Amino acid sequence: MKNLFSLEGHKALVTGANAGLGQAIAVGLAQAGAEVVCAARRAPDETLALIDKAGGRATALALDFANPMAATGVFAGAEFDILVNNAGIIRRADAVDFSEADWDAVMDVNLKALFFTTQAFAKELLAKGMSGKVVNIASLLSFQGGIRVPSYTAAKHGVVGVTKLLANEWASKGINVNAVAPGYIETNNTEALRADPERSKAILERIPAGRWGRSEDIAGATVFLSSAAANYIHGAVLNVDGGWLAR
């Protein structure tokens, strides 16, 4: 039997690949054999160096999803068959003070850009009769409310809904659309939480695994959903949270 988890011969676009989860995902896909295009607003030089060190193949692509249509011209003739929608931003304020500008900025990057990037990717595959994999990065806040992040929570709920809708439309056409929902991961976004002894203790007490997640944990799940091992998985949301949502 062939290696079901190998991505040899595949080409992936990873958005937001310059740091954090996006960087780990890009490296993981490259280590599995995929040719990876690292799309980001800032140059993903560190990501490219890590992939090169691991013996993988990668190039950079400058994209700023403040324009939700930024990637719509990327796929024509480019032979991509894996798309990972990871790019995202967050704005924090009490709901009574939250501004329209912050609402629109987060929704544009985290949801509108995700949809129209995926639409452009699928149009190219469908026109050529090709199969492909889409992995959207959701969140624990796809299922919970959180506090002081109204647009982020709304967008991440939307990511799950869009994932299921697109899976319904495209499963019979050979395009798998799934999502990964990260829990509390050791990234720059959680640095303040981890540095606060009380908050960190409360979070760790809720996680059955008893530790913060690592970016590589999300990379592994993404490689799986991008591989032939996930060919019959459509519309799933894989919680990679150390058991948080099961608690």
Q: Which of 65, 80, 121, 152 is catalytic?
A: 152
Host H or E run for residue 215:
helix 215-226
pLDDT-derived band at 191 (thresholds 50, 70, 90) equals: confident
pLDDT of res. 62: 97
Class for domain 11-236, per CATH? alpha beta
Is the Cα torsion angle 201, 203, 206, 211 positive or negative in sign? negative
pLDDT over 90, % of the chain: 96
Residue type, 230: A
pLDDT at 1 over 80: no
pLDDT-derived band at 188 (thresholds 50, 70, 90) equals: confident
With tokens 């799933």, the residue in question is 236
- pTM value is 0.97
pLDDT of res. 190: 84
**Distance of alpha carbon 71 from alpha carbon 74, whole angstroms:** 5
pLDDT at 59 over 80: yes
Altogether, the residues listed in the chain come to a count of: 247
Is the Cα torsion angle 90, 91, 96, 101 positive or negative in sign? negative
The full 3-state SS of 5-57, as one line of letters, equals CCCCCCEEEEECCCCHHHHHHHHHHHHCCCEEEEEECCCCHHHHHHHHHCCCE
pLDDT at 2 over 80: no
* Secondary structure (3-state) at 241: coil
pLDDT at 172 over 60: yes
In contact, 102 and 151? CB cutoff 8 Å: yes
In contact, 138 and 164? CB cutoff 8 Å: no
> pLDDT tens digit string along 213-222?
999 999 999 9
Mean pLDDT of the chain: 96
Q: Which residue from 17, 95, 90 is spatially nearest to 51, judged by alpha carbons? A: 17
In contact, 178 and 137? CB cutoff 8 Å: no
Query: DSSP labels for 87-153?
Result: --------GGG--HHHHHHHHIIIIIHHHHHHHHHHHHHHHHT--EEEEEE--GGGTS--SS-HHHH
Burial (CB count <10 Å: 0-12, 13-18, 19+), residue 166: buried
> pLDDT tens digit string along 88-143?
999 999 999 999 999 999 999 999 999 999 999 999 999 999 999 999 999 999 99
Query: Does 232 participate in catalysis according to the annotation?
Result: no
